[in-house]
């Protein structure tokens, strides 16, 4: 299986050959500005206790972190939405590793601010076998310290490329989470945490699996 970051770098390379330099500069500016806010240092980190959450899946059923953690360790993947090719590529990597994850007795959920209908589309189109949860208004992502609000120039840019985030998310907040990956152990203790202001950088799922606790399923 190719490394996830290699696949993401291929997306970046293709984008740079297809998109005008002035448009590329907008994206680079937003990444630099977001990094300069220090958001990466404010996110919940290893050793902290993650907030409990209860979020709907695409059918409207509430999925509770406490119920999932009662079954074993939990990987939580915060992603921006189905409109982001980097996020979809990462979700597909977790999809492909899902059997290995279950063999370790662990579970995984994807969390984004997109509406339940959008999550339904995501799961169906990309054969995602794990819960896709809607975090309306990025409330839970905010508790993890991951939320930022898009500046006006970036809002105009996304609308110009037909990415209507208010429509996709079902509100006008223009809030997004940093793409982030957490491993939660007993009691919600954070065993692994990684997020980047540069949405083009993601952790390798195989590396994340190494942080699963040894107490996973024993039958």
CA distances to 48, 57, 154, 216 from 102, in Å: 25, 20, 39, 9
Given a cut of 70, whether residue 219 has pLDDT beyond it is no
Q: CA 200, CA 19: separation in Å to the nearest integer?
A: 16
**Length of the chain, in residues:** 219
Quick check: helix, strand or coil at residue 55?
strand
CA distances to 69, 103, 159, 203 from 197, in Å: 28, 32, 21, 13
Query: What pLDDT score does 19 carry?
Result: 86
Given a cut of 70, whether residue 217 has pLDDT beyond it is no
Enumerate the β-bridge partners of residue 54.
64
Tens digit of pLDDT for each residue in 135-182? 999 999 999 999 999 999 999 999 999 999 999 999 999 999 999 999
Whole-number percent of the chain with pLDDT over 70: 97
Given a cut of 60, whether residue 45 has pLDDT beyond it is yes
Residue with token string 């590396």? 207
Tens digit of pLDDT for each residue in 195-214? 999 999 999 999 999 999 86
Residue closest to 96 by CA, chosen among 133, 120, 132, 130: 130
* DSSP codes joined into one string, 180-203: EEEEE-GGGBEEEEEE-SSTT---
CATH number of 4-209: 3.40.30.10
Given a cut of 50, whether residue 33 has pLDDT beyond it is yes
HSE-CB at 91 with a 13 A cutoff on CA atoms is 29
Query: What pTM, to 2 d.p., does this model score?
Result: 0.94
Tokens in use for 167?
């429509």
Tens digit of pLDDT for each residue in 176-192? 999 999 999 999 999 99
Q: Are strands 62-64 and 175-177 parallel, antiparallel or unpaired?
A: unpaired
Query: Domain ranges in the chain?
Result: 4-209
Query: What pLDDT score does 214 carry?
Result: 67
Q: Supply angle C-alpha 104, 120, 166, rounded to 5.
A: 115
């Amino acid at each position: 299986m190719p490394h996830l970051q290699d696949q993401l770098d291929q997306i970046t390379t293709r984008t740079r050959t297809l998109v005008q330099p002035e448009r590329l500069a907008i994206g680079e500016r937003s990444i630099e500005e977001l990094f300069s806010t220090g958001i990466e240092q404010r996110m919940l980190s290893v050793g902290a206790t993650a907030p409990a959450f209860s979020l709907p899946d695409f059918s409207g059923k509430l999925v509770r972190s406490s119920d999932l953690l009662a079954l074993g360790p939990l990987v939580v993947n915060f992603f921006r939405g189905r409109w982001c090719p980097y996020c979809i590529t990462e979700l597909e990597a977790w999809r492909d590793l899902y059997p290995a994850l279950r063999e370790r007795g662990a579970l995984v959920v994807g969390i984004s601010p997109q509406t339940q209908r959008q999550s339904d589309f995501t799961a169906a189109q990309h054969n995602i076998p794990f819960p896709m949860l809607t975090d309306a208004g990025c409330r839970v992502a905010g508790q993890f310290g991951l939320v930022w609000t898009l500046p006006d120039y970036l809002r105009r840019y996304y609308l110009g490329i037909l990415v209507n985030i208010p429509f996709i998310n079902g509100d006008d907040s223009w809030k997004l989470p940093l793409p982030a990956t957490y491993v939660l152990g007993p009691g919600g203790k954070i065993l692994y945490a990684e997020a980047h202001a540069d949405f083009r950088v993601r952790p390798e799922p195989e590396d994340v699996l190494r942080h699963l606790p040894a107490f996973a399923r024993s039958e």
